[in-house]
A and B are shown apart, each in its own frame.
Chain A
Amino acid sequence: MAESLLAVRGLSKHFVSGNETVPVIEKLSFTLGQGQSLALTGRSGSGKSTLLNLLCGLELADAGTIVLQGQVFETGAKIARQKAMKWSSLRRQQIGVVFQEANLMPALTLLENVQFRAQLAGRSTASSQDWLTRLDIGALAQRYPDQVSGGQRQRAALAMVFAMEPALILADEPTGSLDRHTADEVTQVLFDLQARYGCGLILATHDAELAAGCQQHLDLGHLSSL
């Protein structure tokens, strides 16, 4: 387990709405090995997106420890800015985030998006076109996001994520707004590439079938507040 990609210990997060404190994640612990995939399931509002945000530093936990690629993030760290910078650099180079939608800059073409992301990660842009081709949208490289279908957009988002050669992919219902058939295709590509390039994957989904394709399974179950 020393070689684990990600280790989470006693992670807690609550939101304050009005004068009420709503706990979303409570004392959650799990680990993810290198190149492993984990399915995150649970009802709507159970905290899937919140957890993914915590895992890439877009939100900060109230308590607990996250160890990612050997870097340790503890709550209550003295220098918040340093922590934020560490998270930023991790997101830039190690963690690829895929949202349900709108993963692309609307003013850039698909190819430019991939190149942009690759360059941010400090990778070469030479293979950007290849990534698009590998995801079957090579011919659409010069199109803008609003000129392609939803499935093609998500393929481009995956191309972008793989082009940055991440250690960990966090995908938040990446096929949630696609039809069954397209969703299956896109997930298949995701699993294939993840397996081939050996990066870790955490996939938040409502879909039991999709979850079954992952090696591990974490169910946030019920709404934590209930």
Chain B
Amino acid sequence: MKGLPSLLASFSLPGALFSHYRRHPLQLLALAVMIVLATMLWTGVNHLTSQARASLNQSEQAVAERQQVVRDDGQMLAVDDFVALRLVGVCVMPWLEVTPETGNRLVGIDPLAAYCFGSRNRPSPALDQPLNGKPFLDMGVATAIKSRDSRLYLLTPDTTQTADLPGGYQLTSFSTSPDTGELGDSFLLNLEALGILVLLITALLLRSVYLLGLVQRRDSFALLHRFGVSPDRVQRWLVFEILALALMCVVPGVGLGRWLAAGLGGGFGQALDGLFDIPLYAGQGQGWAMPVLVMLAVVVIACLGDLLLLRFRERLSLILPKTVYSGLAALLLVAGLAMAWLAPSLPWVFIAVALVFAGAGWLAPYAVARIARWCAGRSTKPLALWRYRELAVLARRLTLPLVALQFALAMVLAVQALVTTFEDTFDRWLGQRLEAAYYIEVPAGADGRQAAEWLTRQQTNTPGLQWHRVMRGQAQVTGTDNANNPQVDVFAVAPVGALIRSWSLLEAADQHWEALDSGSGVMINEQLARRQNLSVGNNLKLRLGNQQRVMPIQGIYPDYGRPVGEILLSAETLPDSFNVRFESFSVTPGKPGIAQMTDALQGIWQVEALSMRDNGTIRELATSVFDQTFALTRAMTLLTLILAAAALLMMGWVFFSTRAWYFRLLVAWGMSQRQVAGQLLRLALLLTGGIAVLALPLGIWLTWVLVHRINPLAFGWTLPMAVYPAFWFELGMLSLAVGLSIAALMRRQLGRPAVAPVSASALTGGER
């Protein structure tokens, strides 16, 4: 007889283990499907994020190198500056923007000088392409072009530091067109943080499905144990089993995820191409190895984590009673909250988020159970008592899927708020920069004043005409703690009309627009306010041209993603010595249309053509880029939520089924089926509703962290925090729908006679 167990042990142990799945193929299928879906979801999110990042990086590289060298004295750069910088070893490359008398703007570059940027740090991918005319030309050719306007920039790689520069020069950022880089970066950083959250949620879901299967196989394990198979051997086979399953499912999952991302995300790069007029390669780059390995690791850790941690956990539970556990969780939560509030840098915020999620995830089911017990203690009706006690059991038994749902809800909440905020911000950002329908550049040598006078005359008899004159240049903020007085951009407008007055301000004094108009005040952008610690009412000391001025700050305007300080003031107050580097008109032509306006201006300025930008198209293109990303992000998070909800539904149903006997017992005790079904409904709704309620603060907190902590730390500007109660309501409804579905499934079960549990064990639903 000794032969049988050893035979079983040596030959058919895997068979015996697997026989469970032969009898319950659906369980195996559920686990496999969950692995595939989880892998697909995460790969999709991850792939999309990296794709979006690659595209944005490309576009940024194409349109704007980050840094340029400028002169301290604000003078235009010339070839001498290039030579002076090169001779002391600073890598600079000339970038000559010329606007020919006819035709579009061209850029002259020197590929020989660009060589020092190194191949990884090329200022523009276009340099790899033949320079057959447009828009890049050799410096020599560009210089020879008869142009209305030309300006030399000296670009320098990211690695160049201020200390590398000789005296008289400084570094500033360089951009040639509206640079969505910072905004995009910020969005992607947040997307990445959420990607990690998706990974966590999928891990929780996987674990819950796996544990469910394991519980149902406990009988077979006990049997094997009786046959003399050591638990170690069983465990080894279980490890092998899950690894094999993971391998089989992860690869198709990654494939599906890539397919999903490619299908959905392909347009992102195309939209960018359209925006910047330069063919951009939307990064694929991402291999298979990384997602496959990550997901394998996740599956193994999620499913077998406790095998690995078993001994540690046993020891821990010996030392720590339950209350200490939840105390520890509360401590984590509080520590995380405090850290998120005080964190000085990004990594700390991320640690804080991890702590808060760990704490909240750990605490939530306990909290539900606790509250349920507390309610039970206060309830006088036996049914209420029973219901709360059942709820407490459910909360503890369904910990994993509940936490997964909670996280998913919180994440969807945060993503929704974030995406909406970004959309809004992006919209406003565009609105602010492209406030008028058209930008018309004042040609070199032409007099902007004449045009302004003409427009003022038109104002009275042209309905819908809105305009202002823009003069750009630089000024120096003086009298700061900062030893080297920071250079700021000057954005001077006149008149301070409706176009400007539609700007939304972060902070403003009374009568701010009037003060700005009369020249008795300035407005500053958020960056400057933050950097110099300025607020409304403070005086700003300025050197404008050769004049020293002290002006009160009338308002602070958001300037999403611009890393440079900027001041807004009335152009009327600019001293003559102010060096106007760029002059243009922002015009919404109103009824007569733009053609009439350009004709008139051409006449005034005595030029053949005008350099004009149609802001409508730019806006459309830019919006379409982000719209797609936003939509994708929403879709992905919603998918996560649906997965989490489905998992809870499945787990809830299975768990409720194990307790079917006891629900039937209520019928045996004289409650009608309808009454019992009603009780089950209330129970299920309490459970899923409770988790939605617990997810709400977590979601709002996560939004706050993304918008108010991560973004300022990473980029130096805040996004407005907005809450969307209507969406909370939608999510609440979704949770309740899950509860309703569980109850409906149970109601069907109640109709069938239940089999009495053989023994009151965890296996059969007798837990409390």
Contacts and interface: CB of A to CB of B under 8 A. Distances in A.
Interface in A84-124: 84-85, 88-93, 97, 99-103, 105-108, 112, 115-117, 119-121
A107 B668 contact: no
Given A101-B760, A107-B393, A59 B753 contact: yes
A120 B669 contact: yes
A146 B768 contact: yes
Contacts of A117: 669
Contacts of B757: 101-102
Kindly name the residue among B383, B393, B670, B760 whose own CB sees the greatest number of chain A CB atoms within 10 A: B670
B390 interface: yes
A223 interface: no
A92 B670 contact: yes
Q: Which of A90, A99, A102, A117 has the most CB of B within 10 A?
A: A102
A115 B383 CA distance: 11
A71 B672 CA distance: 18
B768 A106 contact: yes
A93 B662 CA distance: 19
A100 B757 CA distance: 10
Contacts of A105: 386, 389, 662, 665
Contact of A101 (B390, B393, B668, B756): B756
B8 interface: no
B305 interface: no
Interface string B380-418: 011101100110110000000000000000000000000
B756 A107 contact: no
B602 to A, nearest CB: 86
Contact of B386 (A59, A84, A99, A116): A116
Contacts of A56: 668
Contact of B768 (A100, A121, A144): A144
B385 A116 contact: yes
Interface string B647-691: 000000000000001100101111111000000000000000000
A144 B392 CA distance: 14
Contacts, number: 84
- Contact size class for A? 20 to 34
Contacts of A92: 669-671
Contact of B756 (A84, A90, A100, A144): A100
B668 A120 contact: no
Contact of A102 (B392, B661, B671): B661
Contacts of A106: 393, 662, 760, 765-768
Contacts of A116: 382-383, 385-386
A145 B390 CA distance: 14
B385 A112 contact: yes
A120 B671 contact: yes
Given A99-B756, A102-B661, A106-B393, A146 B670 contact: no
Given A102-B757, A107-B392, A58 B667 contact: yes
B687 to A, nearest CB: 14
Q: Which of A97, A99, A108, A144 has the most chain B CB atoms closer than 10 A to its own CB?
A: A108
Interface string B305-329: 0000000000000000000000000
Interface of A: 53, 56, 58-59, 84-85, 88-93, 97, 99-103, 105-108, 112, 115-117, 119-121, 144-146
* 5 A-B pairs with least C-beta separation: A92-B670, A107-B389, A91-B670, A116-B382, A107-B768
Interface of B: 381-383, 385-386, 389-390, 392-393, 661-662, 665, 667-673, 753, 756-760, 765-768
